């Protein structure tokens, strides 16, 4: 995802002179190509995310389309007050990019986990929250947020995420993408859990369960119509996210509670506790049931 983002940003910056990139002393071996091609539109603000966000807001209010970039929680939680007061209240054209959402930086411990970001940022005024599911969606999302005037949050994986979409799907901010059709259960994924969700759907199909798979690359605004339609047609909904309470599962529950017909619902997400285990992303995911087998077990229990 990270490489897809940088590739798209380079292409966009070549034709859009307003694009400006500010990093919080991150992106080595990734962002150099942008700095070399557009040195007058690149700034390393250092390990000073609050200042980075304030500078980005000033640039945006001067007519720029500004991207800030750092690891998971650092461009979000460390500078939350600046995002709320500077970026969102002023509806500034700042695009906050977090690389390594969820447990991608698992070996570095809980200080580098991004597991509360979606819950917090989707509550902020004027903020569009985007978590693409694979490199194809990342490319499309980057282009979409450049066209969108106002604050955006782009939550990315780290690197090496598999491509799920064989061809680019129709992409629009605030709209879900149907990846698989099915009438027995709906699986809704956001961010980097899309590949495992599709793998789970394939396993379920081999066992006679037709699972509909929705990729939800935008959490705010949320595609409530797609959720309501899928829930009504299948009667069962399972959400899958590499995030804690308050993210996709909570957002979907807010939609389901307003439906006339009862729906069986299970959120598959990270537990609300500090992870004291250090390990790879896949290891930490699996310990909390975030795997194709974990998804299959939840569905079969319904």
* Residue 95 host element (H or E): strand 94-99
Q: How far apart are CA 115 and CA 103, in angstroms?
A: 7
Pair of tokens at residue 173: 């901010």
Contacts (Cβ under 8 Å, ≥6 apart) of 109: 278
Two structure tokens written together for 229: 């339609």
* Contact criterion met (CB below 8 Å) for 14 and 146: no
Is 172 a known active-site residue?
no
Q: Which of 49, 137, 161, 242 is catalytic?
A: 49
Angle at which helix 248-256 crosses helix 224-234, to 10 degrees, equals 70
Peptide bond into 50 cis (omega under 30): no
Tally the residues of the chain.
302
Question: Mind telling me the catalytic residues?
Answer: 49
């Amino acid at each position: 995802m990270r490489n897809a983002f940088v590739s798209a940003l380079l292409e966009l910056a070549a034709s859009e002179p307003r694009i400006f990139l500010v990093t919080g002393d991150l992106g080595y071996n990734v962002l150099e190509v942008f700095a070399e091609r557009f040195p007058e539109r690149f700034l390393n603000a250092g390990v000073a995310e609050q200042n980075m966000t304030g500078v980005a807001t000033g640039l945006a209010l001067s007519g720029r389309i500004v991207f800030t970039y750092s690891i998971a929680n650092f461009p979000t939680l460390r500078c939350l007050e600046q995002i709320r007061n500077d970026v969102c209240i002023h509806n500034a054209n700042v695009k906050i990019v977090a690389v390594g959402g969820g447990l991608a930086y698992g070996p570095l411990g809980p200080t580098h986990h991004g597991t509360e970001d979606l819950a917090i940022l989707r509550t902020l005024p004027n903020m569009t929250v985007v978590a693409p599911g694979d490199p194809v969606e990342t490319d499309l999302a980057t282009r979409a947020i450049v066209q969108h005037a106002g604050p955006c949050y782009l939550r990315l994986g780290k690197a090496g995420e598999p491509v799920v979409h064989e061809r680019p799907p129709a992409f629009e901010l605030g709209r879900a993408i149907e990846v698989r059709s099915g009438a027995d259960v709906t699986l809704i994924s956001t961010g980097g859990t899309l590949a495992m969700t599709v793998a789970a759907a394939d396993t379920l199909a081999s066992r006679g369960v037709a699972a509909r798979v929705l990729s939800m690359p935008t959490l705010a605004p949320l595609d409530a119509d797609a959720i309501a339609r899928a829930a009504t047609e299948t009667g069962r909904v399972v959400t899958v996210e590499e995030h804690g309470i308050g993210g996709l599962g909570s957002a979907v529950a807010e939609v389901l509670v307003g439906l006339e017909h009862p729906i069986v619902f299970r959120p598959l997400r990270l537990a609300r506790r500090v992870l004291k285990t250090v390990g790879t992303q896949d290891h930490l995911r699996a310990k909390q049931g975030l795997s194709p087998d974990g998804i299959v077990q939840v569905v079969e229990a319904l």
